[in-house]
Amino acid sequence: MSRQTSVLYDVPGPRQRRITLVSSVAATLLLLVGAYFLIYRPLDDKGQFSMELWGPLIDPSNENFSQVWDRLGLGLKNTLIAAVLAIVSSLVVGTLLAVLRIQLKSLTRRRFVGFATPLAYLLRGLSVLLSAVTRVCVEVFRGLPVVITIFFVARGFPEFGVSFDTLWYLVIGLTIYNSVVIGEILRSGMEGLPGGQAEAAAAIGLSPLQSTRMILLPQAFRIMLPALISQLVVVLKDTSLGFIISYEETLNIGKQVIGVLENPIQVYVVIAVLFIAVNYSLSKLAQYVQHRLSRGRKTAGTPAQNPPPAALMSQAEGAGGPI
C-alpha cells in the first residue's frame, strides 16, 4: 500500500471490516423485508403479478402479445427517430451558437484598428448589441420548460401558415431548448481553456474564428463530453413529452395499450425497462468514445524515441557491443 493512500484515510482493521460487513448484510436484509411487505405483498394481494395482466407483455402464446409488441415497437421506433433527429440538430445548432458567442465576445473587445473612428465605434457597438441579443435568447429559451416550447412550436407555427408533421414539431421544440444548453456547455468548455492557447494561435497568424474551430472547439468537445452525453440522454427522455401534441412515441402508445388492457403497472414497467436499456447503451457508447479519445491523446503525447547518433553507433560497433 502506498504512503499516499495511508495518509488519505485510515485503513480499517479486522474489527471494523466485520462491523461493516454485518451492517451491510443487515441493511440489505432490512431493505428486502421492507420491499416484501410494502411493495410485493400489497401488489400480490391485488393480483398485479397474475398472468392475466403480464401475459400480453411476456407470454408469446397470449392472443394480444403480438399486437401489443407491434404497437410498442412502433412507439420505440418513433421515439428513436425523434431522438436521433433532435440530437443531431441540437449538436449542430448548439455548436454554431457556442462559436457565435465566443466570436461576438472577442469582437466586443476588439478596437478595430485601421478603420475610420465612426466605423470602428459602429462595429463595436453592433458587436455588443448582437452579443446581448444572443445572451438574452439563451437565457429565455434555457429558462422555458421543454413542454411549453414544444407546445408553442406546435401551436404557433400553424398560425403563421407553417405546417409540419407532429414529428418535426417535437424535433424543433427539443432542438430549441437543448441546442441552447449544449451551446452553453461548449462555450464554458472553450472559455475554461488556458488563454495562452488563443494567444499562441494569434501569434502564428490564425484568425479568432480559425483558432476557435481548429484549437478551442475540439478540446471543448473532449473535455465536456460527459456533460454532453448527459444532455443527450435528457433529449432521449424528453421525447416522451410528444404526447402533448399527439405524437405516437413510446409513452403515448403505452397509454393506448393501458386503455385497452387496463394493466398500467405492467406496461409502465416494460416501458421503463426499454428506456433504461437505450439510455444505458448510450452511456456505454459515451464511455467507449471517451476512452478512445483519452487513449489517442496519450498515444499522441508519448515522445518518440530518438535513434542514437551515427557517431555513437560507430563507437558501439567498434567496441564490439552496444553502448
Q: pLDDT tens for residues 82-92?
A: 999 999 999 99
**Neighbour count for residue 52 (Cβ, 10 Å):** 10
Section 111-119 average pLDDT = 73
Domain membership of residue 24 (yes or no) is: no
**pLDDT-derived band of residue 5, with 50, 70 and 90 as boundaries?**
very low
pLDDT in tens, 126-167: 888 888 888 898 899 888 899 999 999 998 888 888 888 899
Q: What is the dihedral of CA 76, 80, 81, 84, to 10 degrees?
A: 180
Residue range of the domain that includes 170:
75-297
Q: Are 153 and 173 a contacting pair, CB within 8 Å?
A: yes
Q: Is residue 62 part of a domain?
A: no
Q: Is the pLDDT of residue 247 over 70?
A: yes
Residue 51 domain flag: no
Per-residue pLDDT tens digits for 55-74: 999 999 999 999 999 999 99
Mean pLDDT of the chain: 83
pLDDT of 302 higher than 90: no
**Amino acid 9: pLDDT:** 62
C-alpha cell at 142: 434555457
Q: Is residue 97 part of a domain?
A: yes
| CATH code (residue 92) | 1.10.3720.10
The pLDDT of residue 311 is: 47
pLDDT at 256: 92
Mean pLDDT of 289-318: 56
Number of domains, the chain: 1
When comparing pLDDT for 109 and 258, which is higher?
Answer: 258
- Please report whether residue 179 resides in a domain: yes
Evaluate whether 175 touches 93 at the Cβ level (below 8 Å): yes
How many Å is the Cα radius of gyration of the chain?
29
Q: Give a yes or no: residue 237 inside a domain.
A: yes
150, 167, 180: which is closest to 82 by C-alpha? 167
Mean pLDDT for the stretch of residues 256-274: 92
Check residue 1 and give its pLDDT.
Answer: 44
The answer, yes or no, to whether residue 263 has pLDDT greater than 80, is: yes
Give yes or no for residue 241 having a pLDDT over 70. yes
pLDDT in tens, 26-53: 999 999 999 999 999 998 998 888 888 9
Secondary structure (DSSP) of 47-66: TTTSHHHHHHHH-TTSTTHH
Decide if 209 is inside a domain. Answer: yes
Evaluate whether residue 254 is within a structural domain.
Answer: yes
Of 264, 254, 242, 252, residue with least CA distance to 68: 254
* φ, ψ dihedrals at 290, nearest 5°: -65, -40
